[in-house]
A and B are shown apart, each in its own frame.
Chain A
């Protein structure tokens, strides 16, 4: 080959891709602002923001601390959070260590079952709890007939609903801690063992302190979760008059007893967000020195498992009892209720069996519609969501766009916005922003809310995965003459295929089980499974709710099965 250089060379000053980067950045910032800005305006208005004579006021803020109705929820919310977080942390960390470090029998099976609640919607857990442990629940009645003791527990109490919510939160803790538990250098505890420490002492003095960054992160995610929990307090607490901040927001904005009190709702919403935001700020400060917890040196050999010894089988039995009582009993009760007229230990099962609930799902319009809508939203929402997440992550990670740090911050913002408030914000926006008005009362307004709500969740998967792809690949493409868009679509995106797929499936699962951002936005015709279940339950239609719940479980289960077994997606390591 004779070496000659090509001369037909273009002279362009800037790198390409600026236009599309601007579109992505502005689009994403606008999208998230839609959920926040109208709510922020409402905060300072004395009447709903679509009233022409609404006046500026600060009373919404002062009422937060003066209105006895509001301040009454503070104590309950604090106690609810404390019980939920405490239980979830203790159980979740215990499971993380048992699954990650010890020789617990049947670890693989236990591992997958313990993560189930992560993919169950909290409503389903709530329904299951009532069907199993409520005053006329299956297990309650069984227990009473066996022992003769009545009222051994009361589900309809603050602690009751906190415990049930903790079941939903425990896998979150395990998820954040199991990697830290697994990644520990076996030499650390080998060193302690050589120094003469007992296994329990090793656990308390070496293993747990080394997991501190993960523990802090899990703790804060738990508090965030506790603060934004709506479904379980609504299902269990509301009938007996227990109010938390979230249920308060829900009831005030639903206009129970007159005009919706949007000003107070906005104030509550923002105070909730401030609280969550402050927690995340706290986490950043606390984890600033997290490099101290990074093990130095290479990991030698296979991970040494912590031997449980004589405790092996007792611990295994305890875990199995937990799984039976906290996971299988709830799912089982819902599943049983879906194929029966009534659920009671006194009615022989064969006599009450029926497929009627499932026939109803197919024959009654509202049910059918909510199923179809949910499927449509989950597929379309997951697809557009993945595209949005990918576009944002690419600009943040793979461009020199001047506003990329700001974009990064915006993409993380929805994490601190409780779902209820996203729904409310989008609702305000649909009232306030003219071009959004046609979307009102259609499923597309839900799509809008879901995109905002789950942006951070998807971003949390794609963004770290992109960091794993070396920028040398982009630079190589650039040096041979590829523009930004070409480099991204031909090189970087194909290389992050796995993360995008995980993102897609995660968004599908999240959208399928979502309810909190939907409750303000759905109307006749735009129902989704989550919101329909809630309203049917309040109407006392337990059978169809159970059938819908089973359908939801099957759908998410199937998605996860396909994703993990066929496509090789990993949600947790």
Chain B
């Protein structure tokens, strides 16, 4: 069953288009992530879904109910949408105890007495925070506040959970733990979740599906694996996991074999699986971990390089090499590479997009 339908959503601030004709749907129980750099429109989409901001045009349906439709002039305010929204800052009310923070929503829904108490305890149990029920937010650590904030959005069983970068205020170690924990919790409750983040690792590990946004538009909507392995354009290729982007010229010979010409000395042969290739200028993308240094001349697409720079990163080494006039980033695990040598680029790791690098 489809839970959320967003159609042709636009949000303009004067001449600036924060959202430019966004359409997508979310399935019941799905974990969907809106991913993109700051200013891409992901948070604007979330506030529009929450009903905290009125979009310029388009429509939003949630669980078969109309929430916003510009053609009919309908707009249901956040107050009446019965959604759960969790903030980057958590926004726990500092003058209320954990219990009171959760109880406020129930009070507004006229759930009182024992049943309120039971619901609050259940929600806190779920996030492992029952022991802290009488504390004030100021007496909790960042990670604990984050759990309470989540319990606060779950306690009244909203029809949709909206999370706005909920992990970005945690330190790196805690963030990784919280990620696993959040994923489990979402599975357990089965609540449809829309998650906003600029952290691609978070998006890849948490989501059933990712919508990559840029400049107010949807660039690609797909599973994490497809987003990473089959980026739709050079923006996605570069934003989700880093990619080397090279300006090349595509030539297709009589036998239908395609080559990407980097300069007069260097050309890479492109695999026949690449679809929609056109002759002429294009952008070639290759991920740093797919380039192999110290290759044999017989290896696929073997090209001569000179070493520019190495950074030791513990588990791996990040290397910058020069091929012709272009610089390439390479991730390697094999210890320090040679000053000069051959590198190889597997054809199936290459993506080619029309246009030129920014």
Contacts and interface: CB of A to CB of B under 8 A. Distances in A.
A478 B94 contact: no
B95 A494 contact: yes
Contacts of B63: 5
Interface string A456-486: 0000000000000010110111111111001
Contact of A478 (B74, B79, B84, B126): B79
Contacts of A470: 89, 91
Contacts of B173: none
Closest A-B pairs by Cβ, 3 of them: A472-B91, A479-B85, A15-B77
Nearest to A482: B108
Contact of B76 (A1, A13, A472, A476): A13
Given A13-B74, A473-B93, A481-B108, A5 B157 contact: yes
B82 A15 contact: no
A149 interface: no
Interface of A: 1, 3-6, 9-16, 470, 472-473, 475-483, 486, 490-491, 494-495
17 contacts: A1-B189, A3-B189, A3-B191, A5-B157, A10-B80, A12-B80, A15-B77, A472-B87, A475-B52, A475-B85, A476-B85, A476-B92, A478-B52, A479-B51, A479-B52, A479-B81, A479-B153
Contacts of A6: 82, 109, 156-157, 159
A5 B84 contact: no
B251 to A, nearest CB: 52
A481 B80 contact: yes
Contact of A12 (B77, B126, B156): B77
Pick the most buried of B83, B91, B158: most chain A CB atoms within 10 A of its CB. B91
Majority DSSP secondary structure for residues of A touching B: loop
Pick the most buried of A477, A479, A482: most chain B CB atoms within 10 A of its CB. A479
Contacts of B81: 9, 479
A475 B78 CA distance: 9
B312 interface: no
Interface in B299-322: none
Contacts of A486: 108
A478 B87 contact: no
Interface string B187-207: 001110000000000000000
Contacts of B85: 475-476, 479
A67 to B, nearest CB: 51
Interface in B33-49: none
A480 B89 contact: no
B104 A3 contact: no
A194 to B, nearest CB: 35
Contacts, number: 102
Contacts of B152: 476, 480
Contacts of B92: 476
B95 A11 contact: no
A515 B83 CA distance: 54
A56 B266 CA distance: 92
B231 to A, nearest CB: 34
Contacts of A477: 93, 104
Nearest to B89: A472
B176 interface: no
A486 B77 CA distance: 15
Nearest to B83: A479
Nearest to B85: A479
A11 B78 CA distance: 11
A479 B78 contact: yes
Interface string B115-136: 0000000110010000000000
B75 interface: yes
Contacts of A479: 50-52, 78, 81, 83-85, 153, 162
A478 B158 CA distance: 13
B157 A3 contact: yes
A483 B85 CA distance: 16
Contacts of A11: 65, 76, 80
Contacts of A481: 79-80, 82, 105, 108-109, 156
Contacts of B159: 5-6
B105 A480 contact: yes
Given A9-B82, A482-B79, A476 B108 contact: no
Given A1-B123, A5-B158, A481-B105, A476 B80 contact: no
Interface in B51-103: 51-52, 63, 65, 74-85, 87, 89, 91-95
A480 B157 contact: no
Contact of A482 (B95, B104, B189): B104
A3 B190 contact: yes
A486 B105 CA distance: 11
Contact of A15 (B74, B79, B191): B79
A489 to B, nearest CB: 12
B189 A495 contact: no
Contacts of B74: 13
A14 B83 CA distance: 17
Contact of A4 (B52, B83, B157, B162): B157
A470 B90 CA distance: 11
B87 A495 contact: no
A10 B74 CA distance: 14
A59 B353 CA distance: 79
Contacts of B76: 11-13
B48 to A, nearest CB: 13
Contacts of A12: 76-77, 79-80
A427 B104 CA distance: 47
Contacts of A4: 157
B122 A1 contact: yes
A483 B74 CA distance: 18
Given A479-B81, A482-B104, 12 more contacts: A1-B123, A1-B189, A5-B82, A6-B156, A13-B75, A475-B78, A478-B79, A479-B51, A481-B82, A483-B79, A490-B104, A491-B93
Contacts of B153: 479-480
B161 to A, nearest CB: 10
A1 B108 contact: no
B47 to A, nearest CB: 8
A16 B80 CA distance: 10
A13 B67 CA distance: 9
A272 to B, nearest CB: 40
Contacts of A15: 77-79
Contacts of B162: 479
Contacts of B52: 475, 478-479
A483 B158 CA distance: 17
A491 B162 CA distance: 21
B171 to A, nearest CB: 20
Interface in B136-170: 152-153, 156-159, 162
B82 A495 contact: no
Contacts of A494: 95
A152 B191 CA distance: 87
